[in-house]
């Protein structure tokens, strides 16, 4: 393959990624994901409720009680660039563990790069017809009491099978 063709393909990929990143950082979350999260939890037999935000609209969450964890688990929608992270640091506090779920994977404190690489991987798979997820730019931040296994082990992947695409 000619080197200029490979360079052009990489340049197009870079420009496409930058365009999506700029769009995601300036736009609002694609839609209110909380009803879809409640539906996913209900399908697993977990009674969840949407909690209104008292101070800031970004902190609207889905909450469910996890008696085996000794407290409540909150699920917040976040952008892939983790722009809301400072708000969560203040609102969630250090006494709770945070995990981020996106496209079938769950990380403990991921970097923006981890999320973007996963997005690119799934976008590329979708482009050749092998993708199994809707590549939304919304991830889920899960805040739970320390040592809560349900927050770490829950399979969030079905959430992205039903999420409308907007990228």
| 8 Å CB contact between 37 and 48 | yes
Instruction: Please report the pLDDT score of residue 45 as a whole number.
Output: 86
Instruction: Please report the pLDDT score of residue 36 as a whole number.
Output: 84
Instruction: Please report the pLDDT score of residue 40 as a whole number.
Output: 86
- How far CA 37 is from CA of 5, 24, 89, 95, 96, in Å, comes to 43, 21, 22, 24, 20
Instruction: Please report the pLDDT score of residue 21 as a whole number.
Output: 65
Cα-Cα-Cα-Cα torsion 14, 20, 21, 22, nearest 10 degrees, comes to 110
Q: What is the value of pTM for the model shown? A: 0.71
Instruction: Please report the pLDDT score of residue 15 as a whole number.
Output: 76
Instruction: Please report the pLDDT score of residue 49 as a whole number.
Output: 84
Question: Over the chain (167 residues), what is each successive 10-residue block's mean pLDDT?
Answer: 80 76 52 81 86 62 84 86 76 81 84 87 83 80 86 82 49
Instruction: Please report the pLDDT score of residue 99 as a whole number.
Output: 87
> How many C-beta neighbours within 10 Å does residue 41 have?
20
- What the block records as the tokens of 89 is 């640091």
Instruction: Please report the pLDDT score of residue 111 as a whole number.
Output: 80
Sequence spans of domains, the chain: 3-162
Element (H, E) at 71: strand 71-79
Instruction: Please report the pLDDT score of residue 164 as a whole number.
Output: 45
């Amino acid at each position: 393959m000619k080197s200029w063709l490979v360079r052009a393909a990489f340049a197009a990929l870079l420009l496409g990624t930058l365009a999506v990143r700029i769009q995601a950082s300036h736009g609002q979350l694609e839609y209110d994901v909380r009803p879809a999260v409640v539906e996913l939890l209900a399908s697993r037999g977990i009674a969840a409720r949407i909690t209104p935000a008292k101070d800031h609209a970004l902190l609207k969450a889905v909450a469910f009680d996890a008696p085996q964890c000794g407290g409540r688990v909150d699920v917040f929608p976040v952008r892939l660039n983790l722009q809301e992270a400072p708000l969560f640091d203040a609102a969630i506090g250090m006494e709770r563990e945070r995990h981020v779920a996106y496209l079938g994977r769950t990380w403990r404190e991921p970097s923006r790069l981890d999320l973007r690489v996963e997005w690119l991987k799934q976008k590329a798979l979708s482009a050749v017809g092998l993708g199994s997820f809707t590549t939304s730019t919304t991830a889920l931040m899960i805040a739970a009491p320390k040592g809560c296994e349900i927050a770490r082990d829950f399979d969030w992947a079905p959430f992205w099978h039903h999420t409308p695409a907007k990228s």
